[in-house]
Structure 1
């Protein structure tokens, strides 16, 4: 007797679609937002909007908004969303959005390196290692054709290094949440993390001089639209989807969003910003998508 085909888990598919596609669009949205808004202030406002909406949703559901886990979530968010993402807003002043996404696509490598408790499993899976190498090859193909125009090479290197460090901070914080996250509502946990990131980013704006330069009347409609898109689609939908997936799938598989995000970012650059896509870049996108598919086919023996 033939076995019945496994049931498709549409929640998993939709969650991956959110982190794959939505986060691929956020790099262009950040670029548009910082046209007329300082980077850390913009990041802080993004998290304020998203955090308030998340906690309001919790309140409407009748859950307790403030509990003993508030502090740990607040501090995690302050680190993760400032060091792991707010700094990227600053870096995009000097690095094109497509190149930023390409640099962040190193995340699956950092997941493997940082996830020490599963090294034995990861490094004995040939398909896992092949998918990582294949993904990096695709990233390299995209990277070598990504033009960097209109800024000093020194700042490009500094900002690129900041992006890589930010990526590692994001990964370590994600893994900490995966293995140490507080019990209770996922929405409440994320809501307080967003509030932590908001406070931290807005405070960073003081020593960096952003508040002295910020005038709300100077913010364009384009920047406001980008801000609200980042808050709702990027922070509420995709951010929640990532944490939900981390509770159900191995971290390196969840991290494959960083392989697909550059494809979305480069395509948007072509369609919206009139950037040229070369034949080798198209080849790189195909390789990256194949790598992401193979990584998701790996059956880890560890718990999700």
Structure 2
């Protein structure tokens, strides 16, 4: 494999998805959050529909009833509520870097959900969960001690979005979905556009596209860079490189988000961000490494006469 496409796709996933929090912060400064997300999703969804058709013809858009149900459920939970609550949290004063670190706890919540359904993750994974939750407490608690830079209500709202994303991810692996990842993303974005519009109406948001120059740039960045380009790069990585390499975005993205928030918006790098955020990123690294190791053990031949209880 040529190193050029690999480096380009990794950089896109690391940097572009790391910048999504800053872009959302800039957009919701000017337009109400659910409406802004609906605008983002409808444009991105239509672009991904075009990509799916170009790749596989109109047949790529055909879905069964079971697949349609899966797309609706995951589109609402993963995309609409997952990102919508995060946008709402930033309207409430949550710094973009802190939002990224709270969202980074998704792998820990996913392990908790697996435990609740009878799974038995490895001990190292559970250790990572404990470290992640300790980091989350430090992130919010030390932020309060530094002058209230982490509003509790906004942090809770962002955490609700993370939980919605976690449940959506869990269900996506258990519901019938189309095999083409681009088709899945296209429909999920369009479902999220509809769902976010309903939320905007329910919240009494005013219809507006009254963006400044920087607001239009941030919205275009969200659509073209974060929702389309980064996703297509992610899809390419899934098809061409080991999952362990693709998964590195989970702990690179929050670091990029914190640095961009600090550089562009002068968001403070207080004790909460440095200590709590560092613990959250370390937890994500530990959880991903432990899960990858467990997968390799499951794939290895089991010696005769040895009964191993391997985690799922």
Contact kept, 8 Å, 1:19 with 1:242, in 2: the verdict is no
The residue number in structure 1 matching 2:53 is: 59
**1:157: which partner in 2?**
152
SS of 2:268 mapped into structure 1: coil
Q: 1:78 to 1:33 in 2, by over 3 A?
A: same
* Alignment partner, residue 130 of structure 1: 127
Aligned mate of 2:22, from 11, 28, 37 = 28
TM-score of the pair, normalised by structure 1? 0.77
Q: TM-score, normalised by structure 2?
A: 0.75
Deviation larger for 167-176 or 110-119 = 110-119
> Any stretches of 5+ residues in structure 1 without a counterpart?
1-6
1:90 aligns with 88
Which residue of 1 is the match for residue 196 of structure 2?
Answer: 201
Give 5+ residue unaligned stretches, structure 2.
300-311
The number of equivalent residue pairs is 287
Q: Displacement, 1:144?
A: 4.2
1:125-165 Cα deviation digits (max 9, x unpaired): 222223333344444444444468799x9xx4333222222
Match of 1:184 in 2: 179
**Aligned mates of 1:134, 1:30 — CA distance in 2:** 28
Aligned to 2:219: 227
Give the Cα–Cα distance (whole angstroms) in 2 for the partners of residues 129 and 113 of structure 1.
9
Match of 2:306 in 1: none
Measure, in 1, the Cα distance between the counterparts of 2:28 and 2:272: 30
RMSD of the TM alignment (CA)? Answer: 3.8
Q: Is the 8 A contact 1:121 1:300 kept in 2?
A: no
What residue is the counterpart of 1:214 in the other structure?
207
- Aligned counterpart in structure 1 of residue 228 of structure 2, from 236, 245, 254: 236
Q: Describe the shift of the 1:280–1:160 C-alpha distance in structure 2 as closer, same or farther (beyond 3 A).
A: closer
**What is the deviation of 1:111?**
0.5
> Which is further off, 127-136 or 90-99?
127-136
